[in-house]
Amino acid sequence: MSFPLIGEPFPEFKAVTTKGVINFPKDYAGKWVVLFSHPADFTPVCTTEFFAFQKRYEEFKKLNTELIGLSIDQVFSHIKWVEWIKEKLGVEIQFPVIADDRGKIAEQLGMIHPSKGNNTVRAVFIIDPKGVLRAVLYYPQELGRNMDEILRMIKGLQISDKEGVAIPANWPQNELVNDEVIVPPASDVDTAEKRLKEYDCYDWWFCHKKL
């Protein structure tokens, strides 16, 4: 199966996780999902990432978003690792972790790092409630992810869908429009002329508004 592209239905698969067997994305219909891979259990950077994801778990839940981890480890390894995190770091990992011990899912989704054996890269797939892939992030093994950026992406995509607007750079602290959003450019002359009267604009093709 070819690598999934943004805007396409996410590939279906069945997987064993620390919370039982799941059928993805069917079991998560109606919810946003952050599916993310990590290179391996019991590694320092991955441990910091799981800790950081769990610390923001309730924030994701408020956005109707579920977290799902994945690596090419057996489920026994996952269970022991999350036990270690709870015992040593005082945080209980509440989201499921896929045990892709044969690497079929990782290979299907392009997660394998060619120069690092069979380990997975730090991939992030954001899937919407209809099972459509909306965003993809890939990080090298040596660089941990920024979970606040992933939260920002979920918020931005949800606002874009609801309001029909675009989200500027560094939103909600953009250097030009602050916490406002971008109005889609006009597609005809009459609308272009009206835009300058209806919104705050740098020009007819660059207008913004408050939510």
Query: Across the chain, what does the average pLDDT equal?
Result: 94
Confidence label for 34 from pLDDT (cuts 50, 70 and 90): very high
Q: Is the pLDDT of residue 18 over 70?
A: yes
Q: Is the pLDDT of residue 1 over 60?
A: no
Boundaries of every domain in the chain: 13-144, 164-211
When pLDDT is averaged across residues 2-16 and rounded to a whole number, the result is 90
When pLDDT is averaged across residues 88-112 and rounded to a whole number, the result is 91
Query: Of these residues, 34, 35, 46, 112, which one is catalytic?
Result: 46
Each residue of 48-82: pLDDT tens digit?
A: 999 999 999 999 999 999 999 999 999 999 999 99
Q: How far apart are CA 131 and CA 117, in angstroms?
A: 30
Q: How far apart are CA 211 and CA 197, in angstroms?
A: 18
Higher local confidence (pLDDT), 117 or 169: 169
Encoded tokens for 210 = 């408050």
Sheet holding 133-139, edge to edge: 20-24, 13-17, 97-99, 65-71, 32-37, 122-127, 133-139
Residue 108 has what pLDDT? 85
Confidence label for 115 from pLDDT (cuts 50, 70 and 90): low
Residue 77 has what pLDDT? 97
When pLDDT is averaged across residues 138-167 and rounded to a whole number, the result is 96
Does the annotation mark 207 as catalytic?
no
When pLDDT is averaged across residues 36-54 and rounded to a whole number, the result is 96
Q: What is the share, in percent, of the chain residues with pLDDT greater than 90?
A: 86
> What is the separation of C-alpha 152 from the centre of its chain, rounded to a whole number of angstroms?
10
Residue 114 has what pLDDT? 66
Each residue of 159-210: pLDDT tens digit?
A: 999 999 999 999 999 999 999 999 998 999 999 999 999 999 999 999 999 9
Domain 164-211 has CATH 3.40.50.1000: no
The continuous run of DSSP H or E covering 161 comes out as helix 147-163
Q: Which CATH superfamily is domain 13-144 in?
A: Glutaredoxin (3.40.30.10)
Q: Is the pLDDT of residue 21 over 90?
A: yes
Residue 204 has what pLDDT? 93
